[in-house]
Structure 1
Amino acid sequence: MVKPLSLLFLTLFNSILGLSVLFPILGPLARELGLSEVQVGLFSTGYALMQFILAAYWGRRSEVVGRKPILLMGILGFAASFFLFALFAWLGYQQVLSGWGLFACLLFSRLLGGAFSSATLPTAQAYLADITPREQRTQNFAVLGAAFGLGVIFGPAIGAGLAHFGLLVPVVFSASLALLNALFVGLALPESRRPLERTPTPPSLSWTDPRIRPLLLIGLSINLASIAMEQTVAFLYQDRLGLTPAQTAQTVGLALVIFGIVGVLVQGFWVRTVRWPPRALLGLGLALLLLGYLGLVFAPSFAWLTASLVLLGLGSMATPGLTAAQSLAVSDDEQGVVAGLSSAAQALGRMLGPVVGTSLYGFSPAYPYVFSAMLIGLALLFFLARPQLASQRE
């Protein structure tokens, strides 16, 4: 019989794969439909906004009704939103919809997708906390990070391959994959929270709770710094190395695959092997992230730029350390809520990161990475100044 941890890994991998399939085709699709770059940016911002607003809500609901129903609702809502996006885009191709009417319909489908997809990650994290003893959470949370990383690595490649058959094919593939994922969850994944363990009313845990507020701030810093980098790193390679657009796509693609593989190996294998406590992973991870962003500020060549990305991949060990620290900081009845608040903090970083990164790049190519380094540096100092942070006994 397949273990729940393996089932959860496949569930999250499928969800992230379905989302990241769209990364290579959103821009070209929007241009074919006559939409502007700003409107494309609003698709991503709106998606992240709904995740920011609703992630904590879904986490609370999972404490009341159970993990499996919320996980299914999130996956099915994601599928519906992508089918709607494909339908509206097809109507745009047929000239039934155009201009602001087309944009409004597509934006609605993305808002719907963000609203429902915000249930998936926090519920998966809470599910994992339910089935994992406290002393093993750091290692098992790393598995979720590896699933996320693998989905981001393979998704764009699949999306680019499917785009040869038409730009709407990856969208329909994502929606269909989500339906299969929901069927898989419905048939194979057992409920982790028995009726007697559920709470009649959601826990009142909030952003201001002193047990988790510092950890949420660190999580926001990590995610904001990462998104600001990801939004601008292609520009940096092109400008620093003097590449053509075609050369940039190939070079950055290779560098990001290396970056992704390092992150998956660190979280999927190394963290589970060394079995370090959350504070050790978080401290070393933040230090490596700081070195990586500083490297991007000064790197003069492909080798040095990519070495800096490798450092950032190694620094991803901070993520399972942070997630485990958040889980261990609260009671078993608050796992869904803390996972929801953590996802909301990540969504806030995804909202602000593109604007901050691209705006700073307009002033100087080095500024986004100076900003990220300063943000991580402050988070590291804040972390080191609080010896009790993330030091709960597992």
Structure 2
Amino acid sequence: MPSTRTTTTTLLVSALVVYSAQGMLVPVLAPVTRLVGLGEVDLGAVMTLSAAMLVLTGPWWGREVDRVGVHAVLVRGLLIATIGAAGFAVMTEVAVRQELPRWLVLSAFALTRGVLYGVGFAAVPVAALTYLASTSDGATARTQAMGAFGAVQGISLVVGPAIGGLAAIGGLLLPVHLAPVLVGATLVAVWLLPAPERQERPERERLGFGDPRVLPYLAAGAALFLGLALVEIILGFLVQDRLGLTNSETAGVVAVAGVAIGIGFALTQAVVAPRVPGGPRALIVIGSLVAAAGYALAIVATTLGVLLPALMVIAAGLGLAVPGYNGGATLVVEPSEHAAVAGQLSATVGLTYVIGPVLGAGLYGLNDLAPIVGAALLSVVAAVVAAASVRPVAR
């Protein structure tokens, strides 16, 4: 059987590749959406459907981790995600080459990028959070473990958009075709590794979303991630419209923004978060307020020189809050409930992205500042909820 270090490395590398493959599409998603004849709301609807799969399948993947183990869940999830990404690439190529009915393109995007990729993608964070929680004890070690996972997400925010932006130079659709190749290669690598020995977990009542131990974390996280979802979905449109850029210029600028965000997100989680005193509650409160300050700066940003620092401040705030959200929720439950709470954490993030993309796109259509103002207010709400409701956790 592989060692704990080998399994942890496998999980983190798998997460890095899958999140990077998703991030590759960020620089080109808005231009490609318009290129195939769809609009902002259509893109928001597809992203909402993908997030809905996190909500619906996150808890189920958690139960599957208990039933068949981390390795089997990763293999199955990556297989489904590969099929979805490949289908999305094929449909995009066809829709660009010939004029198709809008309903057909939207339906194909919903099935491939929405349902299939969303279901498969949901398995990765659930498997990773469950295993990392089960192999770390105490608030400090748990924060470090969750920080490592968060840092991988942050690095993917740099690697993904950077590769996507560079690939877009060779063709706007090239990142769309590279994504399934990366996910498929990860599937093969994970499948070839031997399965780790999984923990036997005792039968117990299913963990409810209203459990008072976990609910404050879920509520604070919901507010924080909903704010992020409002802004993330309109970032490409915001850059293109506010700065007056072409499609290719937009892809390049969003790629640079992704690098700035990823650096702030990764470094904060890996270096700063484990050193913040006060445990998970302090991380959520401080991080949410820092993010709110970043959104406030983004509201008044009219140039790239102001917008990029604002995005880095937002990323630093989220880099503090996310380890507190993931680590704190796993610390207040029993070890046998780690898979269940990991599913809930993933589902909560997914729920915010069910609402956020459509709401963000709709608000942007009314006023380009509305999503950013909403994100700032929601970050303050997250800080208040954490300060008032989250119990201190011993280090």
Report the TM range for the smaller structure's normalisation. Answer: 0.7 to 0.9
Matched, 1:124 2:128: yes
Q: State whether residues 127 and 192 of structure 1, in contact with CA within 8 Å, keep that contact through their aligned partners in structure 2.
A: no
Alpha carbons 2:157, 2:259 under 8 Å: kept: no
Q: Which residue of structure 1 lines up, in the alignment, with residue 228 of structure 2?
A: 226
**Structure 1: distance between partners of 2:245 and 2:263:** 24
Structure-2 residue corresponding to 1:260: 262
- Distance in 1 (CA, whole Å) between partners of 2:162 and 2:135 is 33
Give 1:393 deviation, angstroms.
2.3
Q: Contact 1:211–1:330 at 8 Å: present in 2 too?
A: yes
Query: What amino acid does structure 1 have at the position aligned with 2:155?
Result: L
List gaps (5 residues or longer) in structure 1: none
CA distance 1:251–1:283, change in 2 (3 Å): same
SS of the residue corresponding to residue 243 of structure 2 reads coil
**Deviation sequence 1:363-389 (CA, Å, 0-9, x none):** 444332322222222222222223xx2
Question: 1:34/1:384 Cα in 2 relative to 1: closer, same or farther (>3 Å)?
Answer: closer
CA distance in 2: counterparts of 1:296 and 1:205, whole angstroms = 39
Shift of 1:190: 4.5
* TM-fit CA distance, 1:215: 0.8
Whether contact under 8 Å (1:65, 1:198) holds in the other structure is no
What SS does the aligned partner of 2:198 have? coil
* CA gap 1:235/1:39 in 2 versus in 1, 3 angstroms: closer
Gap change, CA 1:170 and 1:313, over 3 Å in 2: closer
Bigger mean CA offset, 229-238 vs 181-190: 229-238
Matched, 1:380 2:383: yes
Q: Are 2:313 and 1:327 equivalent residues in the alignment?
A: no
Residue 321 of structure 1 deviates from its aligned partner by: 1.0
The alpha carbon displacement at 1:274 in A equals 5.4
- Contact kept, 8 Å, 1:59 with 1:339, in 2: the verdict is yes
Amino acid at match of 1:171: V
- Gaps of at least 5 residues in structure 2 are none
- Would the alpha carbon gap of residues 375 and 101 (structure 1) be closer, same or farther in structure 2, given more than 3 Å must change? closer
Deviation at 1:80, TM superposition (A): 1.4
1:84-123 equivalence runs, <5 A: 84-92=87-95, 99-110=102-113, 111-123=115-127
Contact 1:227 1:353 in 2 (8 A): yes
* C-alpha contact (below 8 Å) 1:62/1:70 kept by paired residues: yes
Preserved contact between residue 130 and residue 193 of structure 1 (Cα < 8 Å): no
CA offsets 1:173-220 (integer angstroms, 9 cap, x no match): 2222122212222334652523xx134x67511211111111111111
Aligned residues: 387
Q: Report the CA distance shift for 1:296/1:166 in structure 2 as closer, same or farther (over 3 A).
A: closer
Is 2:146 aligned against 1:145? no
Q: TM-score, normalised by structure 1?
A: 0.87
Between stretches 212-221 and 42-51, larger displacement belongs to 42-51
Tell me the TM-score normalised to structure 2 length. Answer: 0.87
Measured in 2, the distance between the counterparts of 1:94 and 1:362 equals 29
Asked if the contact 1:131–1:192 (Cα under 8 Å) also holds between the matched residues in 2, the reply is no
Distance 1:179 1:358, change over 3 A: closer
Q: Secondary structure at the match of 1:385?
A: helix
- Structure 1 residue 263: Cα displacement: 1.3
Q: Given the superposition, is the C-alpha separation of residues 189 and 274 from structure 1 closer, same or farther in structure 2, using an over 3 Å criterion? A: farther
Whole-Å separation in 2 of the counterparts to 1:162 and 1:138: 35
Query: Structure 1 pair 198/232, CA: closer, same or farther in 2 (3 Å)?
Result: same
Pairwise CA distance, 1:82: 1.6
- C-alpha contact (below 8 Å) 1:139/1:275 kept by paired residues: no
CA separation of 1:297/1:74 partners in 2, compared to 1, >3 Å: closer, same or farther?
same
The residue identity in structure 2 corresponding to 1:198 is: R
| One-letter amino acid of the counterpart of residue 19, structure 1 | Q
Query: What amino acid is the match of 1:377?
Result: V
How big is the shift at 1:162? Answer: 2.8
Match of 1:134 in 2: 138
Deviation at 1:6, TM superposition (A): 2.7
* Most deviating of 375-384 and 356-365: 356-365
Give CA-to-partner distance per residue, 1:109-129, whole Å, 9 cap, x none: 121111221111111110111
Q: Say whether the 8 Å CA contact 1:88–1:102 is kept in structure 2.
A: yes
AA in 2 matched with 1:77: I
Structure 2 residue aligned with 1:245? 245
Per the TM alignment, residue 304 of structure 1 is displaced from its structure 2 partner at its CA by: 4.3
Does the Cα contact within 8 Å between 2:363 and 2:371 map onto a contact in 1? yes
Which of the residues 162, 167, 180 maps onto 2:167? 162
Letter in 2 for 1:130: S
Contact 1:130–1:192 at 8 Å: present in 2 too?
no
Instruction: Identify which of 300, 307, 311 aligns with 2:313.
Output: 311
Aligned twin of 1:82: 85
SS at match of 1:208: coil
- Kindly indicate whether the alpha-carbon contact (under 8 Å) linking 1:20 and 1:151 is maintained by their aligned counterparts in 2: yes
Who is 2:291 aligned against?
A: 289
Separation (CA, whole Å) in 2 of partners of 1:299 and 1:321: 29
Counterpart in 2 of 1:185?
190
State the alpha-carbon separation in 1 of the partners of residues 277 and 198 from structure 2: 26
For residues 268-308 of structure 1, give each alpha carbon's deviation from its aligned partner in whole angstroms, at most 9, with x where no partner exists. 22224557622222221122122222333345655544433
Work out whether 1:214 is the aligned partner of 2:216. yes
Q: Does 1:26 pair with 2:37?
A: no
**CA 1:170 to 1:209, structure 2 compared with 1: closer, same or farther past 3 Å?**
same
Deviates more, 1:137-146 or 1:179-188: 179-188
State the distance in 1 between where 2:15 and 2:98 align: 36
Q: Is residue 357 of structure 2 the alignment partner of residue 354 of structure 1?
A: yes
CA shift at 1:87, angstroms?
3.2
Indicate the SS of the match to 1:372.
helix
